[in-house]
Amino acid sequence: MRWIDGLEAAAAEKLPEPVHRYFRQGSAGGISVGEATAAWNAYRFRPRVLTDVSTVDISTTVLGTPVDGPVLVAPTTLQRQADPGGEAAMAAGVAAANSVIGISSNAGTTFADIGAAGAPWWLQIYVVKNRDVTLRMLDAAVAAGARAVVLTADTPVVGRKEDDGPTIWEVIQPGHLLANLDEGEYAVEDLGKADNLTPDVIGWLAERTGLPVLVKGVLRGDDAKRCADAGAAGIIVSNHGGRQLDGAIPTARALPEVAEALAGTPTEIYVDGGIRRGEHVLTALALGARAVFVGRPALWALTVDSSAGVTRLLTDLGEELTHAMRLVGSPTIADLTPDLITR
């Protein structure tokens, strides 16, 4: 069995059951979370033959930052429940793999400590009802060296979870959430998600931070175009790991429409959701993604072996991608084109 395939089971042995359930669960009936990986498995390859693949190069850039491979770590919350080092340990593992990490605005580790781990990082932000809280978070991230802002756009309200036992909120340890907001400077109601956002918020974020803005949670080509027209530097095709609207289309199926809508534009396209193999990464790149994000696998790897586990996850997926590219007849990422893929 692949090491990656055993990660969740190994993590489950170390995590309190409510934490494991929170990390793995989707919303409502679990349809979207259950379909994610199967949607990538539904694609088939049309390999080229008699091409020179003696040397394969999987290095690329993401928003101008060089990375050794096109596998990045998605923003996830409550990482200190997985490892005492939390986001700093995750970032150290990412740095060793020369990749990029997304950091949740709910992070339980200060942005300064995350930045000190050495990985280039992008801030994932929820715009909340109290914009002053959002502004304080943005300013702190910029001061600590964030290189981009990832606007989560699919959460006007939080998706319904159907817990059947003690929830994570009953076992979470103090200090594992919102380490970058000073206690006493906000009320719980200030943190409610803003439900009145329009594409204008993209320019507002860019102006405030001076950073490129990506929009995460896009599943439609017309929405991707609206975001790009409003100034988004990147789109992340995502259904929030199946944790928001249950029954939302798998990202593997949404990606081609988004890529078609943004063809010929400088807007970079990323995708997450259910990616577990190098072959899935290859499919995503051929369909138009510049790179992919992995979320739950990184949490399992962090739980099992801290920073070293995260590095191994990214390295193993990169090696699988290299192997698949040899077999599909594409020595560089630029050679990965839609004609290699069919459903």
In a domain, 188, yes or no: yes
Domain that holds residue 96: 85-125+141-158+178-198
- Which of the 8 DSSP states describes residue 79? G
d(CA 144, CA 309): 25
The verdict on 271 and 328 lying in the same domain is yes
pTM of the model: 0.97
Answer yes or no: 240 catalytic. yes
In a domain, 108, yes or no: yes
The verdict on 24 and 105 lying in the same domain is no
pLDDT of residue 215: 99
The verdict on 194 and 217 lying in the same domain is no
- Give the type of residue at 5: D
The active-site residue, picked from 20, 240, 280, 323, is 240
Evaluate if residue 175 carries a pLDDT over 80. no
pLDDT band, residue 169 (cuts 50/70/90): confident
The verdict on 218 and 188 lying in the same domain is no
What's the domain count of the chain?
A: 2
The verdict on 23 and 97 lying in the same domain is no
In a domain, 95, yes or no: yes
Residue carrying structure tokens 């999987």: 58
d(CA 151, CA 172): 26
The verdict on 43 and 147 lying in the same domain is no
pLDDT of residue 287: 98
Over residues 11-26, the mean pLDDT reads: 96
- Give the type of residue at 78: L
The verdict on 192 and 219 lying in the same domain is no
Q: Give me the half-sphere count of Cα atoms (radius 13 Å) on the Cβ side of residue 70.
A: 32
Q: For a pLDDT cut of 90, what percent of the chain falls above it?
A: 92
Q: Which residues pair with 236 in a beta bridge?
A: 216, 270
In a domain, 36, yes or no: yes
pLDDT of residue 170: 78
Worst-scoring range by mean pLDDT, 89-98, 180-189, 271-280?
180-189
In a domain, 9, yes or no: yes
The verdict on 221 and 330 lying in the same domain is yes
Taking only the tens place, the pLDDT of each residue in 246-296 is 999 999 999 999 999 999 999 999 999 999 999 999 999 999 999 999 999
Worst-scoring range by mean pLDDT, 180-189, 306-315, 324-333?
180-189
Which residues are CB-contacts of 287 (< 8 A; sequence separation ≥ 6)?
A: 255, 256, 259, 338, 341
Decide if 239 contacts 32 (C-beta within 8 A). Answer: yes
In a domain, 44, yes or no: yes
pLDDT of residue 180: 94
The verdict on 35 and 120 lying in the same domain is no
Taking only the tens place, the pLDDT of each residue in 186-244 is 888 889 999 999 999 999 999 999 999 999 999 999 999 999 999 999 999 999 999 99
Closest CA relative to residue 259, chosen from 242, 275, 239, 283: 283
- Which of the 8 DSSP states describes residue 261? H
Decide if 214 contacts 232 (C-beta within 8 A). Answer: yes
Long-range pairs, 80-83, Cβ under 8 A, ≥24: 80/108, 80/109, 80/173, 80/175, 80/176, 81/15, 81/16, 81/19, 81/168, 81/172, 81/173, 81/176, 82/11, 82/15, 82/19, 82/23, 82/299, 82/302, 82/303, 83/302, 83/303, 83/306
The verdict on 28 and 100 lying in the same domain is no
d(CA 247, CA 30): 8
Evaluate if residue 164 carries a pLDDT over 80. no
Instruction: Give me Rg for the CA atoms of the chain.
Output: 19
Q: What is the mean pLDDT of the chain?
A: 96
In a domain, 203, yes or no: no
pLDDT of residue 163: 78
The verdict on 52 and 149 lying in the same domain is no
Helix (H) or strand (E) holding 217: strand 213-218
The verdict on 148 and 103 lying in the same domain is yes
In a domain, 239, yes or no: yes
Q: Which residues pair with 336 in a beta bridge?
A: none
Q: How far from the centroid of its chain's Cα atoms is residue 289's Cα?
A: 13
Q: Backbone phi, then psi, for 286, in 5-degree steps?
A: -65, -30
Taking only the tens place, the pLDDT of each residue in 316-334 is 999 999 999 999 999 999 9
Tokens representing 193 are 């998600």
- Which of the 8 DSSP states describes residue 15? S
Q: What is the CATH number of the domain that holds 230?
A: 3.20.20.70
